[in-house]
Chains A and B, each alone.
Chain A
Amino acid sequence: MAEECEADVAIEVNGAVKRYGNKTVVSDVDLSVRTGEHMVLIGHNGAGKTTLMKLMLGLTHPCAGQVRVLGSNPASAAAEQRREIGYLPESVAFHSAMKGREVLAFYARLKGVSRSECDSILVQVGLEQAADRRVSTYSKGMRQRLGLAQAVLGKPRLLFLDEPTSGLDPSLRRQFYDLIDTLSLSGTTSLTSSHSLNEVEARADRIAIMRGGSILACGTLAELSRLAGLPVVVRLRVVAGQTADVAGQLAHMGEIHRVNDHGINLSCLGASKMVLFRHIASLGDVIEDMDVVPPRLDEIYNHYMEQAQP
């Protein structure tokens, strides 16, 4: 049973604490990422996302608690194990005097990846034209692509992306995530940190919201909105003249926000939404149309942020 769990869980963090001097950067974090899962860490700058990643990469040691990555302690595991891991640091830096191709070839040699794979990755990230230019001439977007290229060398089982799109303009962002999706490598587990919510919403299997070094909530988007108790907004189009009547009937099931000639906006909690839907359905032809708007990730995020406010 334990072995089964081991194979199923790529990253396991139990009660991890990291302090620098008096400052607690990561406090008592529990997090488990299943194999093949796309986990997204969300939080403001300074929420502890980068430090948590560094703990998982074995770059720092936890002051308390345990971190296990691919079945072993990353801080003491054999260097060889890091062959399975790809990492794109926040604001990635390279030797600026080297050419793009040389940089990638250097990292490929360290990982024991062939030269031909390097060339094909350069094409995939769209750097084949710029590959023979010095990295110092690269734009932010190009450096980020080179960073992604080195992270996916050797098809890692586990991919860490720390704010991969910070500093990129919106169209580059989309390109970048499309790129990650095409490279995403069947079965690769990934952990992405971000502070822009909408762009990761669609990519995440599960989301962990971090603030002040702790994880406030973790789950799928649906789970998080249920836990947050955020209302679902329902918009009804009603036969003209009937709105006041319908609103009266629904008043006890949710909160009515707006009533006009042919429309009603109301909201109810996720838990009671099916009861509301059934009731609306039983009203028959009076209801012409219905839209349901679930809470968006940024609303959920704001909710948790406000809740955590002292």
Chain B
Amino acid sequence: MKAIGILAVNEFLDGLRNRWVAAAIILLGTTALALLLVGSAPTGTIRAGALDVSVVSLTSLSVYLLPLIALLLSFDALVGEFERGTMLLLLTYPVARWQVVMGKFLGHMMILLTAVAVGYGGAAVITVLFTDNGVEGWQAYVTMMGSTLLLGAVFIGLGYLVSVLVRERSTAAGAAVVLWLIFVVLYDLALLGLLLADHEQRMGQTLFSTLMLVSPADTYRLLNLTAFDAVGQAAGIAGVAARAGFGIPLLLGLMVTWIVLPLAATMAVFHRREL
């Protein structure tokens, strides 16, 4: 256990040293602040409070940004150390290989946690302090922050899997971009295309909803847009998931599965890897 902690702290300090943490905080903080301030401008008939209204737009933003940040952090994590030769030395220390993966994961999660907490959290605090909007809707906002971390965790795990499977850093970088495109952009486009092509509605809502659940990005959206009524109203999809029969536990369970499976696969591949 101690080894995992040492590796996690080392990874986090590395993130501070090479300004990753700072860059992520600035990126998330400024975009969140912009959206929050736009969201808190008088918008007519929408009655939701500023914080939960902004959850809708922040969710759409996070779905693109967090996977990107997570993949950038993680694609290099293993293949980079193989290439530099630092992994060779590390594995002659009293550290098991699964502990290396776990330590890096916790360290990278600490980086994401700091970025989300300071970036999104700070933006919310500034908005509450400097506008007329109260703290109403903070529960939805905090839930959004938590689920955003889960989304980040999914893509950190996927990044590791890429990182342990390829032989070169450049290949890992390319594969990470492809993963991001598939999970965040192409899959949804394909679903949309399917929906448009299906004039006679033969597909049925259940199949469509199930297909949505395959993607962790969509699971994340559903989780945020349906967990709180006020958010759902603002997003205009209130009850979509409820009608399809997806409860919060199912959505959370799917996210956790998406985190555990790539991590476990990474550990298994790494365990057999010869250096």
Task: Identify the A interface with B (CB < 8 A).
Answer: 54, 57, 59-61, 79-83, 85, 87, 89, 91-95, 97-98, 106-107, 109-112, 150, 160
* Given A60-B274, A106-B10, A110-B3: A92 touches B93 (CB 8 Å cut-off): no
Q: Please name 7 further chain A to chain B contacts, defined as beta carbons within 8 Å, in addition to the given A92-B85, A110-B6, A110-B94, sorted by A numbering.
A: A59-B274, A61-B274, A79-B3, A79-B95, A82-B95, A110-B95, A112-B94
CB of B84, distance to nearest CB on chain A (Å): 5
B96–A79 touching, CB < 8 Å:
yes
Subset of 8 A-B contacts with CB under 8 Å = A57-B92, A59-B274, A82-B93, A82-B94, A82-B95, A89-B89, A97-B17, A111-B93
CB of B23, distance to nearest CB on chain A (Å): 15
A109–B6 touching, CB < 8 Å:
yes
Taken together as a complex, chains A and B put the C-alpha atoms of A98 and B94 apart, in Å, by 21
CB of A101, distance to nearest CB on chain B (Å): 13
Query: Residues 71-95 of chain B: 1 if any A CB is under 8 Å from the residue's CB, otherwise 0?
Result: 0000000000000111011011111
A110 to chain B: closest residue by CB: B93
Residues of B within 8 A of A80 (CB): 94
Taken together as a complex, chains A and B put the C-alpha atoms of A50 and B84 apart, in Å, by 17
Taken together as a complex, chains A and B put the C-alpha atoms of A79 and B275 apart, in Å, by 16
Taken together as a complex, chains A and B put the C-alpha atoms of A98 and B11 apart, in Å, by 12
A96 to chain B: closest residue by CB: B84
* Given A59-B88, A79-B95: A98 touches B17 (CB 8 Å cut-off): yes
Name the interface residues of B253-275: CB closer than 8 Å to any CB of A. 274-275
A59–B92 touching, CB < 8 Å:
yes
Minimum-distance CB pairs A-B, first 9: A93-B85, A60-B274, A87-B92, A59-B275, A79-B96, A110-B93, A82-B94, A79-B94, A83-B94
Asked if B45 is at the interface (CB within 8 A of a chain A CB), the reply is: no
Residues of B within 8 A of A98 (CB): 14, 17
* Given A93-B85, A95-B86: A82 touches B275 (CB 8 Å cut-off): no
Name the interface residues of B90-104: CB closer than 8 Å to any CB of A. 91-96, 99
Taken together as a complex, chains A and B put the C-alpha atoms of A259 and B99 apart, in Å, by 71
User: Counting chain A CB atoms within 10 Å of each CB, which of B10, B18, B89 scores highest?
Assistant: B89
A93–B84 touching, CB < 8 Å:
yes
Taken together as a complex, chains A and B put the C-alpha atoms of A160 and B91 apart, in Å, by 14
B92–A91 touching, CB < 8 Å:
no
B275–A95 touching, CB < 8 Å:
no
A106 to chain B: closest residue by CB: B10
CB of B11, distance to nearest CB on chain A (Å): 11
B17 to chain A: closest residue by CB: A97
Q: Which of B6, B18, B88, B96 contacts A89 (CB 8 A)?
A: B88
User: Counting chain A CB atoms within 10 Å of each CB, which of B3, B10, B88, B93 scores highest?
Assistant: B93
A59 to chain B: closest residue by CB: B275
B275–A54 touching, CB < 8 Å:
yes
Q: Which of B3, B17, B84, B275 contacts A60 (CB 8 A)?
A: B275
CB of A217, distance to nearest CB on chain B (Å): 28
